[in-house]
Amino acid sequence: MAQINFGGVVENVVTREEFPLEKARAVLKEEVVAVLGYGVQGPAQALNMRDNGIHVIIGQKSGSASWDKALKDGWVPGKTLFSLEEATERGTVIQYLVSDAGQMLTWPKLQPRLKKGDALYFSHGFGIVYNGQTGVVPPDFVDVILVAPKGSGTSVRANFLSGSGINASYAVHQDATGHATERTIALGIAVGAGYLFPTTFENEVYSDLTGERGILMGALAGVMEAQYNELRKHGHSPSEAFNETVEELTQSLIRLVAQNGMDWMYANCSTTAQRGALDWRHEFRKAVEPVYAKLYQSVLSGEQTRIVLAANSAPDYKQKLEVELREMRESELWQAGAAVRSLRPENWKS
């Protein structure tokens, strides 16, 4: 493992240089990786592994939209595409990539089909950490492991195709075979990780649930709405309000932050922006610290899990979700966004 200094804290990470694809192939040469679920992470991880020469099969409910997607991606019924139950029986590594609520519903059918020495693989520790609510309690004769790419399935596939890879965390919850760690790292490399950093199932879940409710999605959408609405309240046009709130961030600044860091951004903006940003940074941090404390405790207590499982298991969840998304989509903010995106140079008609 390579030792990397993260702001004064030294961590061990695994890179593709020290654990190359050839080694991963050797570790996995006798494995049949059954990818259960073909929704968010399933397609990207399965296609990346297939492209990397790993023996992969898919488990998915026949007749579903995801089954049809698997067919379009070249998976063949009876050869590489099976029901969830049959794929579990055929696999030696069971990648449990159905939704969190889906795991709770399918586990009773799949658990009896696990075999001694199998690896039960997750990309999110939700089902295991909150097993008092999900019922996902693995038998003691299987490895229980995790590789969690730090990005959407779309990014996992796109980064793989570009050759860059994506960061991922990994964890071993239960080592029944004595080879769980090597298996986990090999699978991480096979699905396209650029480097892997160690975690635990608990830490992965707590950070992931906090992050997606916070800066990655919930907080990002909320502060965008607040700024846009304030600008519109004072007479700024939708175009101006959207550009100052979303477009400049997503099309310019965040890319530079990703490449060079926030301090570089502060050092390379106008002195007016620099001084104001440095001062108001602390105001925003103080304002949201109590919100983050409340959020983290809600994750830690399992309250967020209860809400998710209850909502996502409801028969009318998709209909209610569409109402919420339509409200966002049809808001002036995101209608303005659609108009601004259409004006980007790549969308100009010749």
Distance CA 201, CA 281 (A): 32
Dihedral pair phi/psi, residue 196, rounded to 5°:
-120, 135
Inter-residue long-range contacts of 48-51, CB under 8 Å, 24+ positions, other chains counted: 48/156, 48/157, 48/160, 48/190, 48/191, 48/192, 49/190, 49/191, 51/160
> For the whole model, what pTM was predicted?
0.86
State whether 71 and 185 are in the same domain. yes
State whether 135 and 244 are in the same domain. no
Q: What is the DSSP string of 128-194?
A: HHTHHHH-----TTSEEEEEEESS-HHHHHHHHHHT--EEEEEEEEE-SSS-HHHHHHHHHHHTTEE
Domain assignment present for residue 91? The answer is yes
Dihedral pair phi/psi, residue 61, rounded to 5°:
-70, 125
What are the tokens at 55?
């023996």
CATH code: domain of residue 130: 3.40.50.720
Tell me which residue range forms the domain holding 52: 2-199
Kindly list the catalytic residues. 124
Output the tens digit of pLDDT for each of the chain's 350 residues.
778 787 788 888 998 889 999 999 999 999 999 999 999 899 999 999 999 999 999 999 999 999 999 999 999 999 999 999 999 999 999 999 998 888 999 999 999 999 999 999 999 999 999 999 999 999 999 999 999 998 889 999 999 999 888 999 999 999 999 999 999 999 999 999 988 999 999 999 999 999 999 999 999 999 999 999 999 999 999 999 999 999 999 999 999 999 999 999 999 989 999 999 999 999 999 999 999 999 999 999 999 999 998 998 899 999 999 999 999 999 999 999 999 999 888 777 65
State whether 174 and 221 are in the same domain. no
